[in-house]
Amino acid sequence: MRDSRGVLSLAEILSQPKFWGRCLEALEGEGSLEEIRKPFRLATEWLFVGCGSSYYLALAAAASWNAITRMRARAIPASELLLFPELVLAGVGETAAVVISRSGQTSEAVRAAQLLERERNIRVLAVTGTPNQPLERSATATLPLLPCEEQSMVMTRSFSSMLLGLQYLAACQAEDRAFAESLSRLPATADRVMSDLHRRIREFVMAGQFADYVCLGQGALYGLACETALKVTEMSVSYAQSFHTLEFRHGPKSIVGPETLVIFLLSEQGYDAECDVLREIKGLRGTTLAIANRADESARNASDLLIELNSDLPPLAHLAAYIFAGQLVGLYTGLKKGLDPDNPRHLSRVVVLEEKETAKQS
């Protein structure tokens, strides 16, 4: 009997470069998304909302929105808005919200959209991989993304394609044709990065013995570091944590040993300071996997495995390609442990809460 464990996730991970190409083509076909953006034209600040992977996507999307549109943007989990609306909405100006959900059915995400629209007069843009679901019906507008058609329980290409869709929208908002153009060149770059990546990660995971996993990133990469930790946790039922890279020194580094795999998502802007941490963790005999656009000799020497994107695109335009390695570490670690990464234990594809549960929250 052929071992079908993880087959769905591997196919969806490897499909990302081509799927991105199709998603961006479909968005470019919509022009600069003027109709979609019209209801939000007065907004001076943006709130990005989601749950699980979609919250970590919101973190990366808010950072991208800040950088591309120069408008104030922040990310919060939907539950925080439902349980502490005053905390989240205190002192806000003319605000627009983006609610993200692969399924479009997650109760907290749908309830958050309804609270913003109906009780707080804040217009919501829905971003989802599944059309015609409650989230879309609760929002003022929906980003016209290709359906993600993801069969695996865990989010991989839905995560990265929704992030790209929001980066494209930010470029339209900022009338930044050059950034939109650089996004359209990303699929080719990603295809090259992905070409032998899954073989290298599989060999690295199979050769290693890890008890703990730590994922580090700064700026827009922090959201991807959180998602990397979640992928390792979900797909391999392993203990994984995420931190801002330089924060790791302030206590958490006490866990480091040879069986600690520390995954560094090295930015270009913070490269020197982040590489100081990489060298320090290598000095503590941690096992290090570093992902960078281009690395120097010293980073190469401090990495047990180094993945370079070698991209000529602006840093934010190749942001999404930093997620591949973490997705593959989660997948191959799960397979190595005899698990099925397509169906992590205890998880459901969508977290649907009974009405009373969400009512009590409002």
* Nearest distance from C-beta of residue 325 to ligand F1P, angstroms: 18
| Span from 95-103, 218-226, 259-267, 284-292 in contact with ligand F1P (CB under 6 A) | 95-103
Note whether 106 binds ligand F1P by CB under 6 A.
Answer: yes
Note whether 109 binds ligand F1P by CB under 6 A.
Answer: yes
Smallest CA-to-CA distance from 181 within 194, 190, 168, 170 is with 168
* Nearest distance from C-beta of residue 19 to ligand F1P, angstroms: 17
Q: Which residue is nearest to ligand F1P (CB)?
A: 52
Name the residue nearer to ligand F1P (CB basis): 124 or 306.
124
Residue 160's φ and ψ, nearest 5 degrees, are: -70, -35
- Residues numbered 3-32 forming contacts with ligand F1P, rule: CB under 6 A: none
Sole binder of ligand F1P in the list 53, 233, 303, 358 (CB under 6 A): 53
Please tell me what DSSP assigns to residue 257: S
Note whether 59 binds ligand F1P by CB under 6 A.
Answer: no
Total number of residues that touch ligand F1P (CB under 6 A): 17
Instruction: Return d(Cα 307, Cα 38) in angstroms, integer.
Output: 41
289 beta partners: 263, 305
* Nearest distance from C-beta of residue 350 to ligand F1P, angstroms: 5
Sole binder of ligand F1P in the list 18, 120, 336, 349 (CB under 6 A): 349
Smallest CA-to-CA distance from 255 within 269, 243, 273 is with 243
SS3 310: coil
* Nearest distance from C-beta of residue 222 to ligand F1P, angstroms: 17
Sole binder of ligand F1P in the list 83, 146, 350, 353 (CB under 6 A): 350
Q: What angle do CA 328, 218, 321 make, to 5 degrees?
A: 35
Residues near 4 by beta carbon (within 8 Å), at least 6 away in sequence: none
- Residues numbered 145-204 forming contacts with ligand F1P, rule: CB under 6 A: 153-155
Note whether 237 binds ligand F1P by CB under 6 A.
Answer: no
Q: What angle do CA 249, 252, 253 make, to 5 degrees?
A: 60
Sole binder of ligand F1P in the list 181, 347, 357, 359 (CB under 6 A): 347
Note whether 101 binds ligand F1P by CB under 6 A.
Answer: yes
Note whether 236 binds ligand F1P by CB under 6 A.
Answer: no
Note whether 351 binds ligand F1P by CB under 6 A.
Answer: yes
In the chain, DSSP assigns E strands to 45-50, 72-77, 95-101, 123-128, 141-142, 212-217, 239-243, 260-265, 287-292, 305-308
Q: Is there a contact between 324 and 202 (Cβ–Cβ < 8 Å)? A: no
Note whether 81 binds ligand F1P by CB under 6 A.
Answer: no
The sheet carrying 305-308 orders its strands as 239-243, 212-217, 260-265, 287-292, 305-308
Q: What angle do CA 74, 76, 80 make, to 5 degrees?
A: 145
Name the residue nearer to ligand F1P (CB basis): 54 or 161.
54
Name the residue nearer to ligand F1P (CB basis): 89 or 352.
352
Question: Terminal CA-to-CA distance of the chain, rounded, Å?
Answer: 50
* Nearest distance from C-beta of residue 13 to ligand F1P, angstroms: 14
What residues make contact with ligand F1P under the rule CB under 6 A? 51-54, 101-103, 106, 109, 153-155, 234, 347, 349-351
